[in-house]
Amino acid sequence: MERSLESAMNGNLRVLENPVDRLARTIEALLVIAPTALAVEELAAAAEDDQERVETALGLLASRYREGRSGIVLEQVAGGYAFRAAREASEACARLVERPVQRGLSQAALETLAIVAYLGPVSRPEIARIRGVAADSAVAGLVERGLIAEAARDKESGAIRYESTPLFERVFGLTGLSELPRLDDLAEDDEGLRARLEEVAGRRGA
């Protein structure tokens, strides 16, 4: 008798449950296991559901995971959606896992990162020509940290061309490269460029 009652209650709960709630749980799981931000199109394809319903589910998750309510926050970044730690927990998270920028980028690395972000895909010789010094070490360090990656090879010279990564956008709190300061607004000298990048990084507590 008790099992029959329990079974009936569970059946009624499944009937009453909003389908969007089930979709929200699926999207929640997808975002948890994803190594990078996921676009609405990617979420819809993985969940085999409509993009409009996915956006509704994302709105539901955003209300559940927001600053001041949860230690995990859903944010729109790098052209998609991803979970991040709440700001009130950022110091504790930093002690556990050191973020790439928190290890400190040298002036050479910042200059190189700016060139790749604004002009990429760009090759090491092109970076060296713009900076006036060799860029091998700076490029290697940025690749190791996951902030830039190989994009293609120059058809004529065969040189590897580099571009910024979604991790770069996430670390600097950008939804896309279009949010970078306009080149016209940047100072012409290296120090001015460094200061602007550090200002952007500072917004994320880097």
pLDDT score, position 44: 94
**Vertex 183 angle, CA 178 and 188, to 5°:** 155
Instruction: Tell me which residue range forms the domain holding 28.
Output: 2-96
> To the nearest whole percent, how much of the chain has pLDDT over 90?
17
pLDDT score, position 35: 74
Average pLDDT over residues 153-182: 78
Judgement on whether residues 126 and 58 belong to the same structural domain of the protein:
no
CATH code of 28's domain: 1.10.10.10
Judgement on whether residues 43 and 121 belong to the same structural domain of the protein:
no
Domain boundary among 69, 96, 123: 96
Contact call for residues 18 and 147 (beta carbons, < 8 A): no
Residue 205: half-sphere exposure toward Cβ, Cα within 13 Å: 12
pLDDT above 50: residue 158: yes
Judgement on whether residues 136 and 76 belong to the same structural domain of the protein:
no
What do you get for the CA distance between the two ends of the chain, in Å?
Answer: 60
What type of residue is 153?
Answer: R
Write the pLDDT tens digit of every residue in 41-65: 999 999 999 999 999 999 999 999 8
Contact call for residues 37 and 27 (beta carbons, < 8 A): no
pLDDT above 60: residue 7: no
How far is residue 163's CA from residue 64's CA, in Å, rounded to a whole number? 35
Domain boundary among 96, 115, 139: 96
Closest among 150, 170, 171, 165 to 103, alpha carbons compared: 171
Judgement on whether residues 106 and 71 belong to the same structural domain of the protein:
no
Judgement on whether residues 72 and 123 belong to the same structural domain of the protein:
no
Judgement on whether residues 149 and 86 belong to the same structural domain of the protein:
no
Judgement on whether residues 64 and 113 belong to the same structural domain of the protein:
no
Judgement on whether residues 87 and 113 belong to the same structural domain of the protein:
no
What type of residue is 136?
Answer: D
pLDDT score, position 153: 81
Q: Supply the pTM of this predicted model.
A: 0.46
- Per residue, the 3-state secondary structure of 126-185, as one string, reads HHHHHHCCCCHHHHHHHHHHCCEEEEEECCCCCCEEEEECHHHHHHCCCCCHHHCCCHHH
Judgement on whether residues 142 and 188 belong to the same structural domain of the protein:
yes
What's the number of domains the chain is made of? 2
